[in-house]
């Protein structure tokens, strides 16, 4: 039996076909498919390209697929989920078993393997999302960079710029983080950075990219960078705590929290502060770093829809080995 998982993001979209035991049969990549930022006709063309790659690689047809599960950014509302499902249904010859949900679900399942829990996604943007033991979905944040997205690359980068310009306004010596910002933009004066920021093709991505400068400066003991990292770790902890209060009050055991997104490539900078914050707020959690990617999490969701029981260790091993192969 074959299952098709889709991880549709604001930057790229990945689709895979695997067996029920996690062996990868085919994978394909195209650009963004977030309906909030990509025209519908472009999304349609990208999905057609995506599936064409899969069928060519696998020598399979849509009729060979038991379940299709798409975790998509930009489809939080029921109406947008239904619209995306209809679009996929047309391309996939009205296949009966197509499910569409928020991409946070597939990120969660990449670490929880379909079990209840919370996922903290901290990439360019951020969201705290969870599914409790009653199957109820809940979220904190993820409302876009104009409103929140604490603990995101954008938030970290924005705080870096704010701190550097505050030092400039107060006529203080520019800290190491400020020097890194100048190097990044190939400028000698901080004021010359302004056009690079406000005239960027994608301001959110441009500012989020500065997060790596914060990590670099933190590694070298820069007080400003360390302060930013600590504050963002606290904010992430508070978001997780808030979702536990909203959605997981009945849980008696430590809540699993999957850490997903590029910011957690440097989880070593955040974990202690997150743990301390949650402890102070009286919350017991255990963090999980996923061993498969969100596209694999989409396959887990497809298997769950099909009622398939599987061995987690075997699935991870098969998936990782076939990805490397």
For the chain, domain boundaries: 2-115+291-324
Q: Is the pLDDT of residue 20 over 60?
A: yes
Q: Is the pLDDT of residue 49 over 60?
A: yes
Into which CATH architecture does domain 2-115+291-324 fall? 2-Layer Sandwich (3.30)
Q: Is the pLDDT of residue 323 over 80?
A: yes
Task: Write out pLDDT tens, residues 141-173.
Answer: 988 788 888 899 999 999 999 999 999 999 888
Going by C-beta distance under 8 Å and a sequence separation of 6 or more, which residues neighbour residue 196?
A: 185, 187, 206
Looking at 1-10, 157-166, 175-184, 278-287, which range is the least confident one?
A: 1-10
307 C-beta neighbours (distance < 10 Å), count: 7
E-strand stretches of the chain: 2-8, 12-19, 24-31, 65-72, 98-102, 117-122, 126-131, 137-140, 255-260, 285-288
pTM exceeds cut of 0.85: yes
For the stretch 228-240, what's the b/e string if a residue is b when 16 or more beta carbons lie within 10 angstroms of its beta carbon? Answer: bbbbbbbbbbbbb
Q: What is the three-class DSSP state of 104?
A: helix
pLDDT range class, residue 129, cuts 50, 70, 90: very high
pLDDT at 204: 87
Summarize the confidence of residues 275-285 as an average pLDDT.
96
């Amino acid at each position: 039996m074959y299952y098709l998982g889709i991880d549709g993001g604001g930057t790229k979209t990945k689709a895979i076909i695997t067996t029920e035991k996690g062996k990868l049969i085919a994978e394909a990549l195209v650009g963004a498919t977030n309906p909030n930022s990509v025209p519908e006709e472009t999304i349609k063309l990208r999905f057609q390209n995506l599936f064409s790659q899969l069928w060519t690689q696998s020598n399979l047809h849509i009729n060979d697929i038991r379940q299709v599960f798409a975790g998509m950014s930009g489809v939080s509302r029921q109406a947008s989920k239904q619209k995306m499902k209809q679009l996929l249904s047309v391309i996939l010859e009205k296949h009966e078993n197509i499910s569409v949900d928020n991409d946070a679900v597939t990120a969660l399942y990449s670490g929880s393997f379909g079990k209840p829990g919370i996922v903290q996604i901290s990439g360019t943007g951020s969201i705290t999302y969870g599914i409790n033991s009653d199957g109820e979905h809940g979220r904190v944040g993820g409302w876009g960079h104009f409103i929140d997205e604490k603990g995101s690359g954008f938030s970290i980068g924005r705080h870096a710029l704010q701190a550097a310009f505050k030092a400039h306004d107060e006529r203080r010596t520019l800290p190491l983080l400020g020097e890194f910002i100048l190097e990044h933009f190939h400028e000698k004066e901080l004021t010359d950075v302004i056009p690079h920021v406000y005239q960027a093709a994608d301001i959110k991505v441009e500012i989020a990219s500065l997060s790596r400068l914060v990590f670099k400066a933190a590694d070298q003991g820069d007080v400003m960078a360390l302060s930013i990292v600590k504050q963002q770790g606290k904010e992430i902890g508070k978001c997780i705590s808030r979702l536990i209060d909203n959605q997981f009050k009945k849980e008696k055991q430590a809540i699993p929290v999957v850490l997903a997104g590029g910011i957690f490539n440097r989880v070593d900078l955040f974990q202690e502060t997150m743990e301390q914050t949650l402890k102070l707020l009286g919350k017991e959690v255990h963090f999980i770093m996923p061993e498969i990617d969100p596209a694999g999490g989409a396959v887990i969701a497809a298997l769950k829809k099909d009622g398939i029981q599987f061995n987690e260790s075997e699935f991870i091993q098969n998936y990782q080995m076939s990805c490397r192969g």
